[in-house]
Structure formats: C-alpha cells, structure tokens
C-alpha cells in the first residue's frame, strides 16, 4: 500500500434484500441503495443466471445496467468446500472494490440474514470496511400474503425449519408450534409429506413454489401434491387458523 491509496476513503458493503421474486416487493431503501451503488454483486449459477439480479433489473429497469457487475459464479451444491472457495474468491473481489472507496451492494433473495448466503460474505469481510444491511421481504411473508392466511395471532408461536432437518426435529416443531414454515422443502417433499401425516398436520398445511414469481404454484390441498421431489424454491406453510381457506376471494397480486 502506498500513501496515495491510504488517502482514498474506505468503501461500504451493503447486503440488500430484494424479496422473493416480485420486483415490486423491493423496499424503497433497497431500490435507492442499488440505484446509487458503484458495484452490483450477486450470486449466479453456472449458466450465468442470477435470480436476485433479475429481480433488481426488473425493478430498476435501465439504470442498473450502467453499473459495474460482479457475478459470483456459484454451483448450487451441499459441498461446503466448493462453496467456501466461491465465497473466498468473491470477498477478494469485493475487498478490491472497497479499497478503492466504492460502494458495493450484494443482492440477496428474500432477506439477507434469514437463510441467506450474505452471511458467509459478512463473516469474511475485513473489519476495516463499513457494512450495513437492508432487510427484505422473507419468502414466508410473501407466501402468507398470497394465501391470505394469518400466520400468527395473540399467543400463537411460530417456528421456521428446513427440509434439511432430521425427522425428529421436524416432528417436534410440528407438534410444539401452532404455525410452522418449512423452507427448502422441494427435494425432501416425500419425506415431509409423511411427517405432516404422522403429526396430523397434513390438513393444516399449504404448499407453495416460486412464490410471487410468474411460475408461482399454490397447493392448498396436499392430496393434490405428488409424492416426488419438487424445486428448491418451495415451502410449506402450516397454521392452526380456524378461518376457512375459501373465506375471501383471491385477487391476483
């Protein structure tokens, strides 16, 4: 480092939640942060596609195309070694931008700190750089909005688990809590359907895929759901609400 470099003000790293899919579910704060950022960073798959970037581009239209893009190539995998290598590489590129005093936003589907990859970048961030987080609409909130189904009222409790949990953990949550959301449900769908039956929560459950996106699918009667694996972006919403599911007319959001 030379003297010149040390006079450049340090950059700012911002985790920005862009919500679950509908570009209108960005907050005003997220919109402006993306608009004013020097560098837009996001995860992309091996084909160069990025769901979070797609959401941001659709929300902001043209302006976002003029900023520097930093795609972090990332294979969806349970392999921690490969994932860690990708995050290590990404944070190196981000540090290089922050060192030049740039503001870097990292786009996150849903909320950055709720089951988000942003966590792995934040824990790698050099403490000399400032950071902040802009919350986003979590998928379960968009799901209950689509279902028009109250998740929790008064003394009810609510738990979030994932399809990666053990049978025992999932059953305990279904028996203990009035409302339960099971994230990352797709690949574990047959097992989860069995657990819902075993805990007598099958009739309390709704299943949603690709919430608030064009290919959104909502299944309110799980008898209509096949005992086979589904996509990654899917979840179950289980409630003890007494309100009949058909009480109010649905309006396409």
Task: Give the Cα separation of 19 and 22 in Å (integer).
Answer: 7
Q: Which residues bind a second copy (CB under 8 A)?
A: 12, 17, 19, 22-29, 31-32, 59, 111-116, 119-120, 122-123, 125, 127, 129-138, 141-142, 144-146, 148-155, 157-162, 164-165, 169, 172-173, 176-177, 243, 247-251, 253
Closest distance of CB 31 from a second copy, Å: 6
Closest distance of CB 253 from a second copy, Å: 6
Task: Give the Cα separation of 100 and 4 in Å (integer).
Answer: 11
Closest distance of CB 125 from a second copy, Å: 6
Task: Give the Cα separation of 104 and 70 in Å (integer).
Answer: 9
Closest distance of CB 14 from a second copy, Å: 9
The answer for residues whose C-beta is within 8 angstroms of residue 97's C-beta and 6 or more apart is 11, 38, 39, 68, 70, 104
- Tell me whether residue 89 or residue 164 sits nearer to a second copy (CB atom): 164
Closest distance of CB 67 from a second copy, Å: 19
- Tell me whether residue 72 or residue 141 sits nearer to a second copy (CB atom): 141
Task: Give the Cα separation of 106 and 12 in Å (integer).
Answer: 11
Closest distance of CB 93 from a second copy, Å: 18
φ/ψ region of 181 (left if φ > 0, alpha if ψ in -120 to 50, else beta) reads: beta
- Tell me whether residue 6 or residue 47 sits nearer to a second copy (CB atom): 6
Task: Give the Cα separation of 108 and 19 in Å (integer).
Answer: 8
Q: Which element (helix H / strand E) includes 108?
A: strand 103-108
- Tell me whether residue 24 or residue 167 sits nearer to a second copy (CB atom): 24
**Phi, psi of 48, deg, nearest 5:** 80, 15
- Tell me whether residue 138 or residue 230 sits nearer to a second copy (CB atom): 138
Q: Are 128 and 151 in contact (CB under 8 A)?
A: no
Q: Are 30 and 134 in contact (CB under 8 A)?
A: yes
> Degrees (nearest 5) of the Cα angle 79, 85, 86?
90
- Tell me whether residue 3 or residue 62 sits nearer to a second copy (CB atom): 62
């Amino acid at each position: 480092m030379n003297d010149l470099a040390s006079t450049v003000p340090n950059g700012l790293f911002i985790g920005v939640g862009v919500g679950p899919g509908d570009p209108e579910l960005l907050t005003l704060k997220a919109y402006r942060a993306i608009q004013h950022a020097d560098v837009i960073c996001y995860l992309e798959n091996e084909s160069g596609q990025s769901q979070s970037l797609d959401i941001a581009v659709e929300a902001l239209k043209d302006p976002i195309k003029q900023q520097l893009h930093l795609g972090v190539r990332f294979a969806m995998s349970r392999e921690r070694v490969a994932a860690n290598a990708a995050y290590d590489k990404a944070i190196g590129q981000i540090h290089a931008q922050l060192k030049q005093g740039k503001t870097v936003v990292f786009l996150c589907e849903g909320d950055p700190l709720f089951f988000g990859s942003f966590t792995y970048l934040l824990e790698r961030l050099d403490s000399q750089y400032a950071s902040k987080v802009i919350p986003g609409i979590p998928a379960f909130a968009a799901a209950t909005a689509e279902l028009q189904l109250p998740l929790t009222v008064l003394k009810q409790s609510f738990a979030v688990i994932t399809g990666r949990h053990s049978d025992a953990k999932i059953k305990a949550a279904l028996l203990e809590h009035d409302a339960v959301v099971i994230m990352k449900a797709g690949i574990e769908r047959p097992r989860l359907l069995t657990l819902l039956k075993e805990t007598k929560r099958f009739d309390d459950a709704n299943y949603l895929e690709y919430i608030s996106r064009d290919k959104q699918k909502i299944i309110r009667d799980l008898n209509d759901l096949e005992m086979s694996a589904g996509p990654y972006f899917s979840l179950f919403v289980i409630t003890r609400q007494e309100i009949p599911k058909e009480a109010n007319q649905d309006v396409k959001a």
